[in-house]
Chains A and B, each alone.
Chain A
Amino acid sequence: QVQLQESGPGLVKPSQTLSLTCAVSGGSISSGAYYWNWVRQPAGKGLEWIGRFYTSGSSNYNPSLKSRVTISVDTSKNNFSLKLTSVTAADTAVYYCARGISGPLELWGRGTLVTVSS
């Protein structure tokens, strides 16, 4: 069955760029009409949708982060990535990758904690 696994640095310095990758195993990232999403959750808080990439090539981002976020897909490596620039302590959170067909997110990775600190 398809599984998602996030990876990337657990510690990022303020003003630098947070870069995470979500590896898709057990299936092709190109198959099916899926949206590939990133969601984050600060410690003890709720969920915040960051953005999504559709297999057709289109993408949508949360306006609150839009100027700093890029989500891309690498079909050759069967993964998709998140880049968040100019990070601050407010970007410290568990970051999840997730797959959805149109809106509900039916498959999630385990999440990875990213701390922004000098």
Chain B
Amino acid sequence: DIQMTQSPSTLSASVGDRVTITCRASQSVSSWLAWYQQKPGKAPKLLVYRASSLESGVPSRFSGSGSETEFTLTISSLQPDDFATYYCQQYNTYLYTFGQGTKLEIK
């Protein structure tokens, strides 16, 4: 299995801050990497696919980058609606695996 490790596990930030979440793969996943946002009691929502492609309807303050084994999700200017948990997911192999999640909290 390809292991996905996110850092940090928890991130405290303020509205307007620029934040970056990192996701590392235990082996290369090329660009087959997605990012999701999940709020309490809700299903995950796809934000980014193929490492850097923004899903339709997702605000442009979200951006993804990286390839092979290291990826980042950046929120350029945090909005109140962005406080949630974020997960990365690799789909380089049919055995999809997720990172453990990064909880973005209000400072």
- The chain A residues found within 8 Å of chain B, CB to CB, are 37, 46-49, 52, 60, 62-63, 96, 98, 100, 102-106, 108-111
Q: How far is the CB of A43 from chain B (nearest CB, A)?
A: 11
CA distance in complex: A60, B94 (Å): 7
Residues of B at under 8 Å CB distance from A?
Answer: 1, 32, 34, 36, 42-46, 49-50, 55, 87, 89, 91-92, 94-101
Interface centre among A96, A108, A110, A111 (most CB of B within 10 A): A108
> Which of the residues A47, A60, A103 comes within 8 Å of B44, measured between beta carbons?
A47
How many angstroms from the CA of A76 to the CA of B97 in the assembled complex? 31
Q: Are A105 and B95 in contact (CB under 8 A)?
A: no
**The 5 residue pairs across chains A and B that have the minimum distance between CB atoms:** A103-B91, A108-B43, A104-B49, A104-B34, A49-B96
CB distance from A19 to the nearest CB of B (A): 20
Contact A60 B95 (CB under 8 A): yes
Q: Chain B interface mostly helix, strand, loop or mixed?
A: loop
B101 touches A46 (CB 8 A): yes
Report the Cα distance A109→B43, complex, angstroms. 7
Residues on the B chain within 8 Å of A96, using CB: 43-44
Instruction: Give the residue name and chain of the A residue nearest to B44 (CB).
Output: A108
A52 to B55, CA, bound (A): 21
A29 to B99, CA, bound (A): 29
| Min CB–CB distance B51 → chain A (angstroms) | 11
Alpha-carbon gap, A48 to B1, bound state (A): 12
Residues of chain A with a CB closer than 8 A to B55's CB: 104, 106
Let me know if A105 and B46 touch, CB within 8 A: yes
Q: Which residues of chain A are near B97, meaning CB under 8 Å?
A: 49
Collect the chain B residues with CB atoms within 8 Å of residue A98's CB: 43
CB of A47 within 8 A of CB of B98, answer yes
Find out whether the CB atom of B87 lies under 8 angstroms from the CB atom of A47: yes
- Whether A103 and B98, one on each chain, are in contact in the complex, defined by CB atoms closer than 8 angstroms, is no
Min Cβ gap A78→B in Å is 20
Having A60-B95, A98-B43, one finds 11 other A-B pairs with CB under 8 Å, namely A47-B101, A60-B94, A102-B91, A103-B49, A103-B92, A103-B96, A104-B49, A104-B50, A105-B34, A105-B89, A108-B44
